[in-house]
A and B are shown apart, each in its own frame.
Chain A
Amino acid sequence: MAGAAGPGTGPGAAGGDGDDSLYPIAVLIDELRNEDVQLRLNSIKKLSTIALALGVERTRTELLPFLTDTIYDEDEVLLALAEQLGNFTGLVGGPDFAHCLLPPLESLATVEETVVRDKAVESLRQISQEHTPVALEAHFVPLVKRLASGDWFTSRTSACGLFSVCYPRASNAVKAEIRQHFRSLCSDDTPMVRRAAASKLGEFAKVLELDSVKSEIVPLFTNLASDEQDSVRLLAVEACVSIAQLLSQDDLEVLVMPTLRQAAEDKSWRVRYMVADKFSELQKAVGPKITLNDLIPAFQNLLKDCEAEVRAAAAHKVKELCENLPIEGRETIIMNQVLPYIKELVSDTNQHVKSALASVIMGLSTILGKENTIEHLLPLFLAQLKDECPEVRLNIISNLDCVNEVIGIRQLSQSLLPAIVELAEDAKWRVRLAIIEYMPLLAGQLGVEFFDEKLNSLCMAWLVDHVYAIREAATNNLMKLVQKFGTEWAQNTIVPKVLVMADDPNYLHRMTTLFCINALSEACGQEITTKQMLPIVLKMAGDQVANVRFNVAKSLQKIGPILDNDALQVEVKPVLQKLGQDQDMDVKYFAQEAISAVAQRLRKLDFPVKGSEEPSAPGADKNHFLRPRGPGEDTGKGPAHQLHVNTRDTLAQLGTAELVHFSRSRD
């Protein structure tokens, strides 16, 4: 029936003698309130189409009033609506009518969902630019005032984001009012509003006259920075960055620094954390002189803070801090005033702190140069490579490239190898996964000889790991190594070892061979694929385990494009046809898939394609399900084959997932 024709059907499907273009629009309008959220969302996303069809007049008088009251909807619909309305000025008749968009956005700016509110504010900010100065004062400013004095804090928080866009274009009298409203929001009863005001303080300060910044913003900043709620105080730190950029050095020293010093020593660790987290921005904002006098000592305190979270945040900033110091005298400052504190962090009691430091410490070597690196940093790197926490070791290994440039990796290789081996054999599979991902990088830096000698065996061992994710990563790793070291290397070192696994008694290992071939064939090229890999794959088509057989079909489909027509016609085709007659319906299914893919490539009509073959009769189906597949093997069927992971892997993943989920683990 007509209702079934969706909006995507296009004008052609409308039929009838009415206006051809009306039908799809009519569907869109009706679906604005369909029970299905997805359809409503669709309609809202095509709101401009609806508006275009209605024309500017009806959009203003009918569509917008309807949308203003549509705030009961799901968040994602409201979010899409708020976004659409930001670009609607043209559709309501241009800048002269931009104010018509304010009512629906005003109601969206008061909903409880933050993302929707934020999007509504963003759209309002966009539209404010399209208002003429007169319209701005006649429509937009009153809206801001209404929101700012609203009963509910949601509307007042939204107002905070709108002051800065209307202030620059307002008349002086209105400017004074706007400042007054902002002031009162800064001392609002609810912490939510004070937080919103604090987070917009910097932005507002930027559009104010310098005198007003000094006389009004600074006192507000000082008040917010000493708010009774630490959740407000910590946002003042952010504002500090913007305000500091506006003031001269002298004003800065008098007006802002006392507050910043106080924040760096705040009783609440969250405020100190914020100072540490924003340190680079603060450093840039206050300039080199104050940095040396004030920030470096503050940073030293943060590095030895009693709260681990603060130390970790500060440790993260070590490299940026050093980079941003004035080049002149930088080395001395780092060596005398920063490095001693870093040395202590290397043996911190908290692993998050150590791993934060490990993720940036290597970057110091480029700043300090070869000699200092060898003398002072190298011992730290070596100590961290032996750290008990795998994350610390991983972070060092993942940043090896920085050191490589300065002193060469050989200095480290003696300690590096045991660290890598230990990580490679870690009991946690996520750790093993992480180190595998760094293998191509390491291989590139250590060179092929070192790799063959020390690391190659590790890479092969991962192929038979008992966790599927590791085997999968190991397969991808091989592909990347081949890309790095070339096909000849692959042919000599990797391919033989992979192919040997095809005779492994464990079917999972046999399947790994197939996965490796899938990954390697492209990198190895046609010759190796045809001569060495293809025979093995074809041989495995006779495997007793159905999972292996249908993976053969999948592999053949995958490597098909690399093979030449002869090989396809003579070798692949018969095997696939045989698999197409397999008694297992999954094998049959994937064989058919492969056949049609290969046939497409061959473009030969004599290749039989039975696209719509009936699945086996129910009886056979049942049989298939019950048929044993050999010792300890999966009995899953149908689409579940996509997820052929053995149960141990799944449980391991679940177990770890839970741990990682709440990863604020304790020592």
Chain B
Amino acid sequence: MKCFSRYLPYIFRPPNTILSSSCHTEADIISTVEFNHTGELLATGDKGGRVVIFQREQESKNQVHRRGEYNVYSTFQSHEPEFDYLKSLEIEEKINKIRWLPQQNAAYFLLSTNDKTVKLWKVSERDKRPEGYNLKDEEGRLRDPATITTLRVPVLRPMDLMVEATPRRVFANAHTYHINSISVNSDYETYMSADDLRINLWNFEITNQSFNIVDIKPANMEELTEVITAAEFHPHHCNTFVYSSSKGTIRLCDMRASALCDRHTKFFEEPEDPSNRSFFSEIISSISDVKFSHSGRYIMTRDYLTVKVWDLNMESRPIETYQVHDYLRSKLCSLYENDCIFDKFECVWNGSDSVIMTGSYNNFFRMFDRNTKRDVTLEASRENSKPRAILKPRKVCVGGKRRKDEISVDSLDFSKKILHTAWHPSENIIAVAATNNLYIFQDKVN
């Protein structure tokens, strides 16, 4: 796996855990990672409701190896813990998803959401400051009004660059259940938010009204058999979106057909293999993430053990299926007991849709090359990733005899899971969130 083994590790951690990564608090756990459309910025959200934005340094000729390192650009508190008094419900501040908006002027805009409320943030730079008061002198002392004989108009002077994050819109009160996804439409004026049973469509300018486009809530909640697990808009067709369900199916809806998209246009489902049926079949077939390819031709879905790629034109079965950690199939019982079986792993495409990446346990993450059909397991850990060292592929030993450098299934650490990853939109730079650490690896250039 030549192409994958040349990633240089850079490690980033949230600012308050620099001293020791072993004593992080729950609030520092990274809950989402997302590059913006140019890849210049990378945003992370954590369980403490904070958003940290990293900016790529401009390339400099003197330091060839430090090409485009990412540094902290802005940090702000996006959501606070709340209490819904009417429903007697605690609302966590954890950031479930971040989505960048297409850039519309010199400022950057992103949507962040917790379980209930979506917020639109503006991140902007300020490098000038007005100077000169009429009623105060340079030191800020008040002047005697009697001495004012001429008027001064303030003058703007350059100052140190300041990055400000300001909340522009708050889209609240539209979700009864927990929001699992948000997705910006290619028409640049709407986005959707999906919770367990409903999907709402919002206009960026309007916060007091949203349109419910999908509602799968049965009249009687006892008849509930599936929930919405993820939803995303098509990258180019503003009328098309998909949503995945806990039953392992994906529905594609066309908003042109009708105002309510309860009836899907396409229904993607793979027939179940009867030989693989078990008590856990239903749980492990639940889709935890769905992503359109950049081209808009394919959909990728992640379930507990596999990543599947579907062609929009073929609903009957996926065109590609990749095993992420098939060796866990024999351990489903204990994974059920420790609740790991319900972990929601995400998956991402690389810029050209030729490679896909998704996470696993023991700080391992997996990449699959769709053309060569080769795959690699890499590890995101501080011990193994010395700056400028090349990441070594890892192997999990399946059979009885463990070779050197292999790790046995039984010694995997299930508390170290990589759920959230992101891939730069055009270059081979990846961001991997491992609990409270963010690792940014990039292709080595010679």
Contact = CB atoms under 8 A, between A and B. Distances in A.
A69 B136 CA distance: 22
B188 A191 contact: yes
B106 A152 contact: yes
A203 interface: no
A306 interface: yes
A230 B188 contact: no
A62 to B, nearest CB: 4
A661 B215 contact: no
B104 A269 contact: no
Contacts of A53: 151
B104 A62 contact: no
Given A63-B153, A231-B238, A662-B212, A18 B105 contact: no
A531 interface: no
Interface in B234-280: 237-239, 255-260
Contacts of B153: 29, 54, 58, 62-63, 66
Interface stretch (B127-135, B391-399, B435-443): B127-135
Contacts of A152: 103-106
Nearest to B109: A112
Contact of B107 (A17, A54, A62, A112): A112
Contacts of A3: 135, 142
A154 B134 CA distance: 36
A66 B156 CA distance: 7
Interface stretch (A20-28, A130-138, A560-568): A20-28
B149 A18 contact: yes
Nearest to A23: B145
B256 A267 contact: yes
Interface string B114-133: 00000000101010101001
Contact of B105 (A1, A25, A29, A111): A111
Given A30-B135, A666-B260, A66 B154 contact: yes
Contact of B149 (A15, A19, A69): A19
A29 B145 CA distance: 14
Interface in A6-59: 14-19, 22-23, 25-27, 29-30, 32-33, 53-54, 58
Contacts of B152: 26, 29
A347 B124 CA distance: 55
Contacts of A27: 134-135
Given A29-B152, A62-B153, A18 B135 contact: no
Contacts of B168: 112-113
Chain B, interface size category, equals 35 or more
A152 B188 CA distance: 13
A30 B145 contact: no
A27 B105 CA distance: 33
Which of B126, B168, B208, B239 neighbours the largest number of chain A CB atoms within 10 Å of its CB?
B239
B174 interface: yes
B155 interface: yes
A16 B256 contact: no
B293 to A, nearest CB: 19
Interface residues of A, number: 58
B211 interface: yes
Nearest to A74: B166
B156 A69 contact: yes
Nearest to B129: A33
Contact of B145 (A14, A307, A661): A14
Which of A15, A112, A191, A230 neighbours the largest number of chain B CB atoms within 10 Å of its CB?
A112
B148 A18 contact: yes
Contacts of A15: 145-146
B74 interface: no
Contacts of A654: 86
Nearest to B134: A26
Interface string A264-276: 0001111000000
Contacts of A25: 151
A2 interface: yes
A662 B238 contact: no
Contact of B259 (A33, A113, A155, A309): A309
Contacts of B174: 662
Given A25-B151, A661-B208, A69 B128 contact: yes
A60 to B, nearest CB: 11
B362 interface: no
B102 A190 contact: yes
B147 interface: yes
A308 interface: yes
A224 B154 CA distance: 47
Contacts of B133: 30
A565 to B, nearest CB: 52
B205 interface: yes
Contacts of A54: 151, 153
A469 interface: no
Given A17-B146, A53-B151, A662-B212, A191 B134 contact: no
A154 B104 contact: yes
A18 B205 CA distance: 49
A269 B212 contact: no
B381 interface: no
A192 interface: yes
Nearest to B239: A230
A658 B152 CA distance: 52
A15 B144 CA distance: 10
Contacts of B208: 661
A110 interface: yes
Given A18-B147, A29-B151, A192 B135 contact: no
B187 interface: yes
Which of B186, B237, B255, B256 neighbours the largest number of chain A CB atoms within 10 Å of its CB?
B256
A270 B150 CA distance: 60
Contacts of B145: 2, 14-16, 18, 23, 26
A18 B146 contact: yes
Contacts of B102: 190
B154 A191 contact: no
Contact of B154 (A22, A32, A58, A664): A32
Interface in A241-255: none
Nearest to A192: B188
A643 B122 CA distance: 38
B197 to A, nearest CB: 13
21 contacts: A2-B144, A3-B142, A15-B145, A15-B146, A16-B145, A17-B146, A26-B135, A29-B134, A29-B152, A30-B133, A66-B155, A72-B126, A110-B105, A112-B122, A153-B188, A155-B105, A190-B188, A191-B187, A230-B256, A268-B255, A269-B259
Interface of A: 1-3, 14-19, 22-23, 25-27, 29-30, 32-33, 53-54, 58, 62-63, 65-66, 69, 72, 110-114, 152-155, 190-192, 195, 228-231, 267-270, 306-309, 654, 658, 661-662, 664, 666
Given A23-B145, A666-B260, 9 more contacts: A16-B145, A33-B154, A58-B151, A62-B155, A112-B109, A191-B238, A192-B188, A307-B257, A309-B259
**Which 4 pairs from chain A and chain B are nearest by CB?**
A16-B146, A268-B256, A26-B134, A62-B153
